[in-house]
Chains A and B, each alone.
Chain A
Amino acid sequence: QKEVEQDPGPLSVPEGAIVSLNCTYSNSAFQYFMWYRQYSRKGPELLMYTYSSGNKEDGRFTAQVDKSSKYISLFIRDSQPSDSATYLCAMNKAAGNKLTFGGGTRVLVKP
């Protein structure tokens, strides 16, 4: 079983809808949690970064971390076709340490 699990999708939503993404993990040592967006044949782009449990908002993006449940979420409000991409969750145990990624969720936002 992988340390970080993520539904591969695809998740298809109409433009303007809220996109809800999540990951579960098994290792309680993870302290830092990130979400990356990856377009086809491109490198991952950092979207959100949170430390420990709690919520963080940045524009249309909200990240939530529930360490007691080992569950993290990313919400995208007012989704746009340009949000169509693969979303990767990632986490590490200490600042600067290697990241452990989920397998990614493919999102399609239809006009």
Chain B
Amino acid sequence: DTGVSQDPRHKITKRGQNVTFRCDPISEHNRLYWYRQTLGQGPEFLTYFQNEAQLEKSRLLSDRFSAERPKGSFSTLEIQRTEQGDSAMYLCASSSDRGSGNTIYFGEGSWLTVV
């Protein structure tokens, strides 16, 4: 079990550029979550997938943000036309609906800096 894997770990981009983050969940975890965390704050929920279906989206997820999970495996989070306010750590998490179904594991995060 290699844990939740995120790539890239760090990204510096110019305002207006598009960026994409990838998340590989723990093997056989059918639930996948994206969160955003800014310095000094707790993570904030962005969106949630069960298998390939996107079941919930936060109001924080503006139309510049899109998340996909093709085939219910890895997921991507794309931010279009980045703004300085998008600078944050983007966290991916996963869990399984087996057992207690509520043990949610996080990856190490992808840091985004928009300059």
Binding site for B on A (CB under 8 A): 4, 6, 8, 32, 34, 36, 41-46, 49, 51, 88, 90, 92, 95-104
Contacts and interface: CB of A to CB of B under 8 A. Distances in A.
A44 B106 contact: yes
Given A95-B101, A98-B33, A45 B106 contact: yes
Contact of B45 (A34, A43, A100): A100
Contact of A32 (B40, B102, B106, B109): B102
Contact of A96 (B31, B40, B105, B109): B31
Contacts of A44: 43, 91, 106
A98 B45 contact: yes
Which of A43, A44, A46, A92 has most chain B Cβ within 10 Å? A43
Contacts of A6: 42
Contact of A49 (B41, B45, B50, B103): B103
B107 A99 contact: no
B43 A96 contact: no
Contacts of A102: 42
Nearest to B47: A98
Interface size class of chain B, counting residues whose CB lies under 8 Å from the partner chain:
20 to 34
B109 A101 contact: no
B102 A43 contact: no
B115 interface: no
B42 to A, nearest CB: 3
Nearest to B3: A43
Interface in B30-81: 31, 33, 35, 40-45, 48, 50, 56, 58
B5 to A, nearest CB: 11
B20 to A, nearest CB: 19
